[in-house]
């Protein structure tokens, strides 16, 4: 046996006894040497096989992005103070996709969009097209919007409800048709880009979010509450190729994406500026923003372009800090679950009271009251439960990602992290996921009242506030799904 053969087996077997056997082969008969060589080969193959079984499998990950900036003027979403359609673009809007598959080919597709909402009609169209064209099940799909108030209205009904000329509702319908095609396209491209990858988690902090609920003699109002609850955590998911190249970043923050006021230029607000900065510094990396539980959080400072840029740079810097922190490596195991959580509405006011509101001089109040009377005209009529998507994803048997529909207030993030992270494993709580058409108050916020608790329903086509058990129902759904996924994981 020549020296190169000896080196091969020493490097593969990697143990002193193997070296001594190989060294002595030259001193023995050819028959004896051959027998020992065969024996060593068997030992080495057994060790290699057992080692492969013990090693976790490998992720496959693909990423892509596509511009979804309207190509013609549209009526912009979010601010009723606007008096005309969009007039140019400040920062392009994007849909971005991450397609993951674990060692058993369990899949998760995350799609983020620089939009304000996900109406049920849009959600269903995206779910249907991705299931038809890519075989993606609803529980394997996580949709998230940044809640920018610098994007287009995407509901003709909202256009009508706001008293805006019907032509802009037609533009909204046209835009949605193109949007669904582009989401299908970006998911297909991400799937085509899938390659072996490693995934890890870390986090940092960013401080510009401030609670916006202040107590006044007249009830809770929108303002600045530096003593109110906040969540300044910045979770970061990094996706690296087998060559250790950073190909993807997913990061989150719990704050309204409203640093810019009602300008008429299209833009992704602070989240758009943060993603632009990160992708400028890393041109080969797709960055994706997951909006957190920012229903009652506002960025400070705000209202001007420099404020949005400053907050975006602050968030990008926090992501960089997260990348510099020691990561938690996530093995290639993936579990997903999705429930539609029924949320009951509080009883409607007496019909004569609603009829009085219908005569109000406030356009939103009167329109909402007329709509309620039309939908539920009789005293015994009661609205059906609101079906809120509640999704739980576990990556690497370590990271639990919770994705709540609607605009949840920060209490949900704080509570779920506290309760789910009791074993020391990280928890990431996102909001604005899968169906975004209503504020989701906690019990505390609902009892306090104010905009997020009771008042915003007139802008969101809801019959009225939720019942006070709204928080308990949502948290129970999260715990039920988390336990189911944990039990399945332990049974494997």
pLDDT digits (tens, 9 = 90+) for 445-483: 999 999 999 999 998 889 999 999 999 999 999 999 999
Residue in 369, 281, 270 with CA at minimum distance from that of residue 311:
270
Distance CA 354, CA 358 (A): 6
Close Cβ partners of 262 (under 8 Å, ≥ 6 residues apart): 78, 79, 81, 82, 149
CA distance 234 to 211: 17
Q: Are 289 and 244 in contact (CB under 8 A)?
A: no
* 201 exposure class (CB count in 10 Å sphere: 0-12, 13-18, 19+): buried
Share the mean pLDDT of the chain.
89
- Name the pLDDT band for 4 (thresholds 50, 70, 90): very low
Residue 10 pLDDT class (50, 70, 90 cuts): very low
| Contact by Cβ (8 Å): 308, 269 | yes
pLDDT of residue 49: 39
Q: Which pLDDT score, from 0 to 100, does residue 413 have?
A: 99
Least confident of 30-44, 84-98, 99-113, 460-474: 30-44
H/E element, 219: strand 219-225
pLDDT digits 0-9 by tens, 352-393: 999 999 998 888 899 999 999 999 999 889 999 999 999 999
DSSP 3-state of 36: helix
Helix/strand/coil for 444: helix
Rg of the chain taking only CA atoms, in angstroms: 27
Q: Whole-prediction pTM value? A: 0.88
Confidence band for 492, pLDDT divided at 50, 70 and 90: low
pLDDT score recorded for residue 242: 94
281-330 per-position pLDDT tens digit: 999 999 999 999 999 999 999 999 999 999 999 999 999 999 999 999 99
Counting residues of the chain whose pLDDT is more than 70, the rounded percentage is: 88
Q: Determine whether 103 is exposed, middle or buried from the number of CB atoms within 10 Å of its CB (0-12, 13-18, 19+).
A: middle
Q: First CA to last CA across the chain, in angstroms?
A: 45
Number of alpha helices (DSSP H) and beta strands (DSSP E) in the chain:
13, 18
What would the pLDDT profile of 412-421 be if each residue is shown by its tens digit?
A: 999 999 999 8
Is the bond preceding 301 in cis, omega lying within 30 degrees of 0?
yes
Q: Which of 416, 425, 409 is nearest to 328 (CA)?
A: 425
Average pLDDT in the 422-449 region? 95
Closest CA to 108 of 187, 200, 196: 187
The pLDDT of residue 487: 85
Q: Give a three-class secondary structure readout of 121-136.
A: HHHHHHHHHHHHHHCC
- Say how many C-beta atoms besides its own lie within 10 A of residue 113's C-beta: 28
Whole-Å CA distances, 419 to 4, 179, 205, 376, 400 = 58, 37, 20, 39, 12
- Dump strand ranges (E) for 274-366: 286-291, 297-299, 328-330, 334-343
The domain spans of the chain are: 3-54, 60-330+442-452+468-477, 348-381
Q: Is 243 helix (H, G, I), strand (E, B) or coil?
A: coil
Q: What is the pLDDT of residues 234-273, one digit of tens each?
A: 999 999 999 999 999 999 999 999 999 999 999 999 999 9
């Amino acid at each position: 046996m020549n020296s190169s053969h000896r080196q091969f087996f020493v490097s593969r077997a990697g143990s002193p006894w193997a070296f001594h056997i190989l060294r002595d082969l030259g001193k023995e008969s050819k028959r004896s040497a051959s027998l020992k060589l065969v024996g060593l080969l068997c030992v080495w193959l057994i060790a290699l096989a057992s080692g492969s079984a013990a090693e976790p499998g490998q992720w496959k990950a693909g990423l892509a992005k596509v511009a979804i900036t309207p190509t013609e003027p549209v009526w912009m979403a979010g601010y009723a103070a606007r008096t005309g359609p969009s007039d140019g673009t400040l920062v392009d809007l994007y849909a971005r996709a991450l397609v993951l598959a674990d060692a058993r080919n369990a899949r998760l597709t995350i799609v983020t969009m620089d939009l304000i909402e996900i109406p049920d009609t849009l959600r269903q169209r995206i779910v249907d097209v991705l299931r038809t064209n890519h075989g993606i099940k609803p529980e394997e799909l996580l949709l998230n919007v940044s809640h920018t108030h610098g994007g287009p209205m995407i509901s003709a009904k909202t256009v009508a409800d706001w008293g805006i000329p019907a032509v802009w509702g037609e533009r909204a319908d046209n835009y949605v048709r193109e949007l669904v095609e582009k989401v299908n396209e970006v998911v297909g491209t991400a799937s085509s880009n899938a390659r072996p990858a490693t995934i890890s988690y870390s986090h940092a902090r960013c401080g510009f979010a401030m609670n916006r609920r202040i107590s006044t003699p007249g009830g809770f109002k929108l303002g600045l509450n530096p003593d109110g609850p906040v969540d300044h955590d910045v979770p970061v998911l990094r996706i690296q190729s087998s060559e250790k190249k950073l190909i993807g970043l997913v990061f989150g923050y719990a704050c309204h994406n409203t640093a810019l006021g009602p300008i008429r230029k299209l833009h992704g607000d602070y989240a758009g500026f943060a993603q632009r900065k990160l992708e400028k510094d890393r041109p080969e990396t797709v960055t994706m923003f997951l909006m957190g539980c920012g229903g009652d959080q506002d960025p400070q400072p705000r209202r001007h372009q420099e404020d949005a840029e400053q907050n975006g740079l602050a968030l990008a810097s926090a992501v960089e800090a997260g990348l510099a922190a020691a990561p938690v490596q996530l093995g290639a195991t993936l579990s997903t679950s999705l429930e539609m959580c029924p949320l009951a509405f509080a009883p409607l006011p007496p019909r004569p009271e609603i009829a009085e509101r219908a005569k109000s001089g406030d356009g939103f109040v009167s329109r909402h009251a007329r709509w309620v009377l039309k939908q539920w005209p009789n005293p015994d009529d009661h609205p059906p439960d609101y079906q809120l998507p509640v999704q739980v994803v576990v990556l690497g048997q370590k990271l639990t990602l919770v994705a709540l529909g609607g605009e949840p207030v920060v209490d949900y993030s704080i509570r779920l992290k506290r309760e789910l992270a009791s074993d020391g494993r990280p928890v990431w709580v996102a909001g604005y996921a899968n169906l975004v058409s209503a504020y989701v108050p906690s019990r505390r916020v609902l009892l306090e009242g104010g905009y997020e608790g009771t008042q915003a329903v007139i802008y969101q086509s809801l019959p009225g506030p939720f019942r006070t058990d709204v928080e308990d129902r949502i948290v129970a759904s999260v715990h039920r799904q988390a336990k189911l996924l944990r039990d399945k994981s332990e049974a494997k």
